[in-house]
A and B are shown apart, each in its own frame.
Chain A
Amino acid sequence: MSNIPEDLKYVKSHEWVKIEGDVATIGITDFAQSELGDVVYVDLPEVGRVLQAGDIFGSVESVKTVSDVYAPVAGTVVEVNAALGAQSELINSDPYGAGFMLKLKVADASAADSLLDAAAYAAEIS
């Protein structure tokens, strides 16, 4: 079974988001990494890029396929996970922790409120 932490918010395109203050941390879900298989390359945006909710911010390449990844909320990129450059497998081993993809500074911290909660996302992938 997929691990779906209760304290995160989710979108149907299989990204998770965690809002702390005005910073949103974003990655792909355990279900997504499991479907993709071993991740071999991650394409991430430049720091400073402005994203709208639903924008493609990068891509994840696995041995099976290349998938675009989408911003669950709007914001400005303040940090990307540089460790993924050399260790893309962190997305497989720790998708909600060391395998996060980027951090956005969000204007509206309540933007994630309307996204899926853990139960709704679990229903989505069942």
Chain B
Amino acid sequence: MSNTLGFRTKRMPEPRLIFEQSNKGRIGCNVPVADTPEVNLAAILGETRSDLNLPEIGELELLRHFTRLSHINYGIETGFYPLGSCTMKYNPKINEKTAGLPGFANLHPMQPVATIPGALEILVGVQDMLKEITGFDEITLQPLAGAHGEMTCLMLIKAYFESRGEGKQRHVVLVPDSAHGTNPASAARCGYDVKPIPTTEEGNTDMEALAAALDGSVAALMLTNPSTLGLFEPNIEKICEMVHAAGGQVFCDGANMNAMVGTTRPGDHGFDCMHLNLHKTFSTPHGGGGPGCGAIGLKSHLEPFLPGPVIRHEGETVIADSDRPQSIGRVSGFYGQFLMEVRAYTYLRAYGKQKMADISRFSVLNANYVRARLKEVLPPAHDRPCMHECILTAEKYKKENGIRALDISKRLIDYGFHPPTNYFPLIVPECFMIEPTETETKETLDEFCDALIEICREAVETPDLLHDAPSTQIVGRLDETLAVKNLNVRWLPTSV
């Protein structure tokens, strides 16, 4: 095995919870003597708890605790992170520099709008650039995550149909069987009945099934393009026409926008609205490093229903327009996650219009490179060029060697890589969804492919290595079933 583990093989004491390191009376900082009158909390709040069991710990122990945790963590700055559908691209440091500028970082959410023209310029600047990239008439940056953006789009569609007196009649949302689970969840949350649309063997939307499902009860089709199979839907324009002919709306799940930036635009394909993940495509922090931003784009017929306030140009200035009688109302406090918008603005301006298409071209190139290099050991689910991610199947190892995709993924951890997405989309057996993103070098992709080729050899010759993996980490194979069935996330004191 290659010696790629580096610092993570360092001997380290078993990590303990910070609560377990607590020692009564130990303090990490000296709180200044209060120069305000003492307040009796119990007198105001009534009964108060004294047994808070907060950890009492010195500054050095605290520092060591979190530094240790950071060393056993794995992130994009530690190594390759090909988690499909998540677009784990590198987030350039300049984003953090601009977001940290005091003029942005120190804004108060309650500050009068008249005092924040610079912030409004950023918001409207991001909106304008996203309009141009997606081909939509309007953008709102308010939704706080991808699924929140999906739901906001469906709320706009619902308000639109209600305004036309078709609210009751149109109660069905169509969702392909390859969709992200959030799609049916968002539709159900908005009170819609969800109907699945099958995918053909070639990996496209089943046009006959779609035609059969389209009637006056359909409010919308939620379509991910490129699909979760990493394939561009060749019938996309026809699909949008068909849904429109039946009086429905078409929502684009923009989780895979990274494949299209600067190259093609969902607004031009015929979609009525879409969501974007700024934390995927536009390099704002992802996952625990968030918070996210699920910006949405929409055509002008949905504009009256936008959540307020709407940030827009008015003559030479930018205003926050709250006079929105048909609005669905706010979908977040204030105006979303403002500093994420600063980061996205920085990213967009740093790339510039001319180089924007490099994002999609290189992300597609990298995915196809991985797909081609692994073709012999892990065949692609569909034998045609993919977009920004490739879907490969480990089915033959399951049948012939009793090795599942999960075992291969766990073994990848031993080789120093974060595993790709497993078992999604659900319609491909024993699948890997690998999304390298545009920010990885050929050398990194080669190291990753070499590791997977080696692991597939192990799957045949020494399968036990995979069953037991990972074996080089601070913990071994975790019991996922036990974790789900006996969820235990709260520390309880053993003695006080």
Which A residues contact B (CB, under 8 angstroms)?
Answer: 35, 38, 40-41, 63-66, 88-89
Which B residues contact A (CB, under 8 angstroms)?
Answer: 181, 422-423, 426, 429, 480-481, 484-485
B481 touches A65 (CB 8 A): no
Residues of A within 8 A of B181 (CB): 66
Known: A64-B422, A88-B485. 15 other contacts (CB 8 A): A35-B429, A38-B480, A38-B481, A40-B481, A40-B484, A40-B485, A41-B484, A63-B480, A63-B481, A63-B484, A64-B423, A65-B423, A65-B426, A66-B181, A89-B481
Residue of A35, A63, A66, A88 ringed by the most chain B CB atoms within 10 A: A63
A41 to B423 Cα, complex, angstroms: 18
Quote the shortest CB–CB distance from A18 to chain B (angstroms). 27
Residues of B within 8 A of A38 (CB): 480-481
A64 to B422 Cα, complex, angstroms: 9
A and B contact pairs by CB, cutoff 8 A, 17 listed: A35-B429, A38-B480, A38-B481, A40-B481, A40-B484, A40-B485, A41-B484, A63-B480, A63-B481, A63-B484, A64-B422, A64-B423, A65-B423, A65-B426, A66-B181, A88-B485, A89-B481
Residues of B within 8 A of A89 (CB): 481
A40 to B423 Cα, complex, angstroms: 17
Q: Which are the 8 A-B pairs with shortest beta-carbon distances?
A: A38-B481, A40-B484, A63-B480, A64-B423, A40-B485, A63-B481, A65-B426, A40-B481
Q: Which residue of A lies closest to B398 (CB)?
A: A34
Residues of A within 8 A of B485 (CB): 40, 88
Residues of B within 8 A of A35 (CB): 429
Residues of B within 8 A of A41 (CB): 484
Residues of B within 8 A of A88 (CB): 485
Quote the shortest CB–CB distance from A2 to chain B (angstroms). 11
Residues of B within 8 A of A65 (CB): 423, 426
Residues of A within 8 A of B480 (CB): 38, 63
A41 to B486 Cα, complex, angstroms: 12
A64 to B181 Cα, complex, angstroms: 12
A35 to B426 Cα, complex, angstroms: 10
Q: Which residue of A lies closest to B399 (CB)?
A: A1
Quote the shortest CB–CB distance from B272 to chain A (angstroms). 28
A88 to B181 Cα, complex, angstroms: 23
Q: Which residue of B lies closest to A1 (CB)?
A: B399
Q: Which residue of A lies closest to B430 (CB)?
A: A35
Residues of A within 8 A of B422 (CB): 64
Quote the shortest CB–CB distance from B395 to chain A (angstroms). 11
Q: Which residue of A lies closest to B480 (CB)?
A: A63
Residues of A within 8 A of B484 (CB): 40-41, 63
A65 to B423 Cα, complex, angstroms: 8
Residue of B181, B422, B426, B481 ringed by the most chain A CB atoms within 10 A: B481
A63 to B487 Cα, complex, angstroms: 13
A72 to B181 Cα, complex, angstroms: 25
Residue of B426, B429, B485 ringed by the most chain A CB atoms within 10 A: B485
Quote the shortest CB–CB distance from B287 to chain A (angstroms). 20
A45 to B72 Cα, complex, angstroms: 44
Residues of A within 8 A of B481 (CB): 38, 40, 63, 89
Q: Which residue of B lies closest to A65 (CB)?
A: B426
Q: Which residue of B lies closest to A38 (CB)?
A: B481
Quote the shortest CB–CB distance from A53 to chain B (angstroms). 18
Residues of B within 8 A of A64 (CB): 422-423
Quote the shortest CB–CB distance from A8 to chain B (angstroms). 23
Q: Which residue of B lies closest to A61 (CB)?
A: B484
Quote the shortest CB–CB distance from A83 to chain B (angstroms). 15
Residues of A within 8 A of B423 (CB): 64-65
Quote the shortest CB–CB distance from B459 to chain A (angstroms). 18
A65 to B422 Cα, complex, angstroms: 11
Q: Which residue of A lies closest to B405 (CB)?
A: A64
A119 to B260 Cα, complex, angstroms: 46
Q: Which residue of A lies closest to B429 (CB)?
A: A35
A39 to B480 Cα, complex, angstroms: 11
Quote the shortest CB–CB distance from A6 to chain B (angstroms). 23
Quote the shortest CB–CB distance from B237 to chain A (angstroms). 32
A115 to B423 Cα, complex, angstroms: 29
Residues of A within 8 A of B429 (CB): 35
A40 to B484 Cα, complex, angstroms: 7
A41 to B422 Cα, complex, angstroms: 20
Residue of B181, B422, B426 ringed by the most chain A CB atoms within 10 A: B426
Q: Which residue of B lies closest to A89 (CB)?
A: B481
Quote the shortest CB–CB distance from B485 to chain A (angstroms). 5
A64 to B480 Cα, complex, angstroms: 10
Q: Which residue of B lies closest to A64 (CB)?
A: B423
A65 to B428 Cα, complex, angstroms: 13
Quote the shortest CB–CB distance from B164 to chain A (angstroms). 31
A66 to B185 Cα, complex, angstroms: 12
Quote the shortest CB–CB distance from B477 to chain A (angstroms). 13
A25 to B287 Cα, complex, angstroms: 44
Quote the shortest CB–CB distance from A125 to chain B (angstroms). 10
Q: Which residue of B lies closest to A63 (CB)?
A: B480
A65 to B485 Cα, complex, angstroms: 14
Quote the shortest CB–CB distance from B403 to chain A (angstroms). 14
Q: Which residue of A lies closest to B423 (CB)?
A: A64
Residues of A within 8 A of B426 (CB): 65
